[in-house]
Amino acid sequence: MTFLLIATATFALFYRVMDYAVTQREMKRFPSHLSGGEQQRVAIARSLSAGAKFLLADEPTGNLDVANSKNVMDILHSLAHDEGYCVIVVTHDMEIAEAADIVYKMKDGILL
């Protein structure tokens, strides 16, 4: 019985995350058939499916166009502010940095 409860909770979390980040159409496609933005959203969903409330995103918009960058950052913002996740984003993009609640800067490998 316990196993079934764990499995049910895991599947429920998986589908909640997938509904949040990707469409049913995207769920059925191979990664090589997804756009950069779709791949990033799937990566976010996969990382959240483990149930952790901590997300470290290294240049999550580095290879995306403006529209997909905004979409990914909206997801990360919502996770932090609406869902209670700890989201840490590493970026060289000052626009993304300015949208953060707290910004730390590094120069020559030293945290300023």
CA atoms of 57 and 77, how far apart (whole Å)? 12
Q: For the chain, how many structural domains are there in total?
A: 1
Q: Look up the CATH number of the domain holding residue 16.
A: 3.40.50.300
Its domain, for residue 78, covers: 2-111
**Could you give the residue ranges of the DSSP H alpha helices within 1-112?**
2-21, 24-27, 36-48, 66-81, 94-98
Report the pLDDT value the prediction gives residue 18, as an integer from 0 to 100: 60
Report the pLDDT value the prediction gives residue 37, as an integer from 0 to 100: 76
86 sits in which H/E element: strand 86-90
pTM of the entire predicted model: 0.69
Report the pLDDT value the prediction gives residue 2, as an integer from 0 to 100: 37
Give the mean pLDDT per block of 10 residues along the chain (112 residues): 45 58 69 79 75 84 84 84 87 88 88 85
Report the pLDDT value the prediction gives residue 12, as an integer from 0 to 100: 59
Report the pLDDT value the prediction gives residue 28, as an integer from 0 to 100: 72
